[in-house]
Chain A
Amino acid sequence: MKFLQTNLPEVETAAELEKMIEENENVMVCCGRMGPMCMPVYDVMEELEDEREDVKFAVMGFDNPEAAIIRNAPETNGFMGLPFTMYYKNGKVAHATSSIQNMQQITSILDEQFAEKV
């Protein structure tokens, strides 16, 4: 079941997320709602989707029960602001952020955690 209305692929189950992480070296997943702190992050991801072919971008509904895989991840412990954004490298969480992030913050995390822009 879809929870979000974005132009990005939406992960609907924990199994789907695990498969995505397994099949892609670099994955960025923004777990949020259709709210003011989340929308700008989706927008940045949509912009980056064409430029960063080395990264798989996706969203997941925060209210999706299956998103417990992100909500309860040790890396999001203490997070108190939407969205929860996860960066996975080689199947493991490389970085996680809470609350709104801008283009500059996101690209610097991508550059730092993943391979340099192709």
Chain B
Amino acid sequence: MIIGAGAAGLTAGIYASRAKLSTLILNEGAVGGQMVLTEEIANYPGVPSTKGYMLANTMKQQAKSFGCKIKSNVKIARYNLEGDIKEVELEDGRSFTARTIILTPGGRPRSLSIPGENQFKGTGISYCATCDGDFFTGKEVVVVGGGNSALEEAVALTQFATKVTIVHQFDHFQAFKHAVEEAQKNPKIEFIMESELRGFYGNGKLENVDIEHLPTGKMSSLKTDGTFIFVGYQPNTESLDGLVKLNERKEIVVDTDLKTNIEGVFAAGDCITKKYRQVTTAVADGTISALSAGKYLSEKQVKQEEILEEQL
């Protein structure tokens, strides 16, 4: 059983079902995971520039063609990962069992979790410049974040917006030097450093944001038509906390074979402890985890046969 249908989960599904293992993928969100959040994938080896959703769809069809079953948009209520038989119970009462589990729950864009964020989602707050940038033509927007996504998307938004203000919590950026330089030389971009947003306000649509200058604690209000939030990703491991070993960033701790601390439970993709999160690395993880799970099942089978022989 595989939990998650992003690049890692689908790849694990392809490898496991191709190896004639009875394979089920349970997925809490949409098939494709973070891949479908990528407008263009130009560096996936062997594939000319493609859309993220197209690559995801091809992987899904590939997995299904080998017999992999996929159930998406389910809500998992409970895991029982200990013992020889692992069980996953869904909120609708259905439950599924397997001899081994590969956890690939992926990650999601981090939200700010401040007042007004949910209220103005879709009426001023966005997490995707490619999707919603053109709604802000001729308007002023705020971009929150200091990584590559924030700076690259800020530059992209200057095609539409008259002014882009980047608000970042530190006095320096984490983005690559070229991304920082491109943003800094763009005349439409302004910077508010060492500051964080504290709230979103407006009447029916977003009109103002409250900003705190962190060193002084001074609050100010900035008029804006929109805010784009790019403050990184967080692993979807909340429901696994206390069940498998997680690190301080709530990523699943694995060894080089992608085994977790529980026998028969493996993990792969953006949810594990690793430095680089790319479609290619997720695909590699998915492969390793499926091969490791297959090996685990074979060894278990041999062991069981040996015990039976001894008993006979």
Contact = CB atoms under 8 A, between A and B. Distances in A.
Interface string B55-98: 00100000000000000110100000000000000000000000
Contacts of B131: 33, 35-38, 81-82
A80 B30 contact: no
Nearest to B32: A39
Contacts of B127: 37
A34 B128 CA distance: 13
Interface in B115-130: 121-128, 130
B135 interface: yes
By size class, the interface of chain B is: 20 to 34
B30 A79 contact: no
Contacts, number: 76
Which applies to chain A's interface (DSSP): helix, strand, loop or mixed? loop
B89 to A, nearest CB: 17
Interface string B9-51: 0000000000000000000011110001111000000000001
Nearest to B35: A36
A40 B30 contact: yes
A34 to B, nearest CB: 6
Contacts of B123: 78-81, 98
A5 B132 CA distance: 20
Contacts of A104: 75
A115 to B, nearest CB: 19
